[in-house]
Structure 1
């Protein structure tokens, strides 16, 4: 009887250990947002799994970590995120993670020189007759930088290089595969850059408004012509004065489109566009519906490009 008990408990312990190891293996790389996961998945393809914390349909601006999210962060070998100015919901949990497991993209020496400052955006907003709301500006551009880094192909490349370096430290035995993955990602990104540049070239001079201030990196990279945004923080609806300013600009500057987002489809966009010839489109800055594969970041950029083009061309 005693022998059977010993056997039972040793079997139970072994099963528990196996489950624990399996869970750990499944959570090797955890990223905050889906587009960051796209980049990580390209580098980790065939080497280790990648998971994303933020579920489809949720917003990084108001998300709260669940207990299961905290466990995933604690069990991860590598956590990749933008930084506390973007994912405030992660700050406390990431603080408990060892530095070697924490990859904060906004702090990379290769990324910092590529950041767009809030001061530049404020100047553009001033020229368009907009005023930033103080609360949302602090929430979203603390430190004076726009933190939607994943919308920059240049920053995506530098992020991929950094993820490659971290995974190489964790898994030196997979060097050949990791090197090949990085090379393939860079080649795909360069090719995609040319294709998207050609697709967007005919609409460079066409004006439009976006719902929230997320797209500066993509727009500057491809030379698009935004007239402004409805809000800096999508959780805070624009006031009557701002809506009046936008409506005036829709008429005076002959904007072609106003863009909503899958996560935010506010009635204010319909109200402002009513009675004008302005078309309504949707931009998805988080790549909803795109699954994590080695090609998902390029698919994400292509999808965003098509969303711009279909509305601005009038297709």
Structure 2
């Protein structure tokens, strides 16, 4: 009996010790966010990735296993309501026990305003961008932004006088042509080209644009550093026994991302002034950080195929601005680029803002930024 009691005591002690060192249950939405969280949790645990790289966060549908992971989570890290629209109304219900950390709401994040219409001038970024300070900021309150000045560290931008962005009404031509393009038809629907208000409502619904913030915040490495700090703080509050590990990991990650940022800036200097067209406006933070010269996007909304009028508009933009490259994305139908490039000397390339072909994990984020720079240089350089 004494042996049995001693065995039970030992067993209970082991269970207790195991519970004490169990890693917090963390779910991160897109691979870029998951990468930052993975780096901070290194040596303690591994976060759950909700949305695989091959899927668009704009249109993702939760699986039962996703709902289960959210229900068990102690911390959910996401970009924010502008990107993972499927979580906006149901996050509190799906993850009732978790702290919810939105990247667009953490201290130190630079926020840029949405560029409307899909036609803009090179370097047409909001240089009075919002440097988000969440002191006194309520959890889940995405409207309480303290907007400050932000310096993109590109002095040549400072002299640009940015015009006010045109509203969707000026350039949203494609909504009624979606099914026609999908089936090879080329109907103009001219009466809708300039004032497609139904399209605007669909665009806002799909992207969760309940404010004027561009949600693609992860494509500026400095924002990734700010997220890492917020994640380390959140994890330390949940799991104070491992606070020192989280802090050390975050500091190492910040140093690595600082080196990545500097190296990327140097690499992109040679192509900074070369005009190009993107598939949809997902790269403003990357462009602003490195002084790149995007002059438009093929589509205003990635969920709506561009119609004939929109294609003609982009063709004129390529000609007028001398765009050297038009970039597709692997998540969306690329055949429209054939029409866009017709009669043009511009080349085609591919950019992927979510890193579909990159393995998830702590090394994902540096690989994503490096690949974006590689793909930019490959299409924009004089040697290409």
When normalised by structure 2's length, the TM-score is 0.70
**Within the alignment, does 1:267 sit opposite 2:335 as a pair?**
yes
Between the aligned partners of 1:292 and 1:60, the Cα distance in structure 2 is 15
1:117 match: 113
Between the aligned partners of 2:307 and 2:298, the Cα distance in structure 1 is 9
Note if contact 1:70-1:93 (Cα within 8 Å) is conserved in structure 2.
no
Note if contact 1:219-1:226 (Cα within 8 Å) is conserved in structure 2.
yes
For residues 72-100 of structure 1, the C-alpha deviation after alignment (integer angstroms, 9 at most, x for no partner) is: 10111211001222111122441123475
Which residue, out of 262, 287, 301, partners 1:194?
A: 262
1:255 match: 323
Between the aligned partners of 2:89 and 2:117, the Cα distance in structure 1 is 33
1:178 match: 246
1:135 match: 201
1:69 match: 66
Partner SS for 2:88: helix
Which residue, out of 290, 298, 301, partners 1:233?
A: 301
2:144 match: none
Partner SS for 2:76: strand
Note if contact 1:30-1:76 (Cα within 8 Å) is conserved in structure 2.
yes
For residues 188-216 of structure 1, the C-alpha deviation after alignment (integer angstroms, 9 at most, x for no partner) is: 11111111111100001101100011000
What residue ranges of structure 2 are gaps of 5+ in the alignment? 1-14, 123-165, 173-198
Partner SS for 1:125: coil
Note if contact 1:27-1:75 (Cα within 8 Å) is conserved in structure 2.
no
1:102 match: 100
| Alpha carbons of structure 1 residues 311 and 98: separation in structure 2 relative to 1, 3 Å | same
Matches within 5 A, 1:5-44: 28-44=25-41
For residues 169-206 of structure 1, the C-alpha deviation after alignment (integer angstroms, 9 at most, x for no partner) is: 12211122212111111111111111111110000110
Between the aligned partners of 2:72 and 2:267, the Cα distance in structure 1 is 42
For residues 261-311 of structure 1, the C-alpha deviation after alignment (integer angstroms, 9 at most, x for no partner) is: 111133111111123221111101011232233332112111111111111
Partner SS for 2:211: helix
Between the aligned partners of 1:151 and 1:136, the Cα distance in structure 2 is 25
| Alpha carbons of structure 1 residues 291 and 123: separation in structure 2 relative to 1, 3 Å | closer
Q: Which moved more, 1:84-93 or 1:279-288?
A: 84-93
**Within the alignment, does 1:46 sit opposite 2:35 as a pair?**
no
Partner SS for 2:327: strand
1:15 match: none
| Structure whose residues are more often helix by fraction | 1
Which residue, out of 205, 222, 246, partners 1:154?
A: 222
Q: How many residues align?
A: 291
Between the aligned partners of 2:310 and 2:299, the Cα distance in structure 1 is 9
Shift of 1:40: 0.8
| Alpha carbons of structure 1 residues 158 and 124: separation in structure 2 relative to 1, 3 Å | same
When normalised by structure 1's length, the TM-score is 0.85
Shift of 1:32: 1.0
Segments of 4+ moved more than 4 angstroms: 126-130
Between the aligned partners of 1:177 and 1:135, the Cα distance in structure 2 is 46
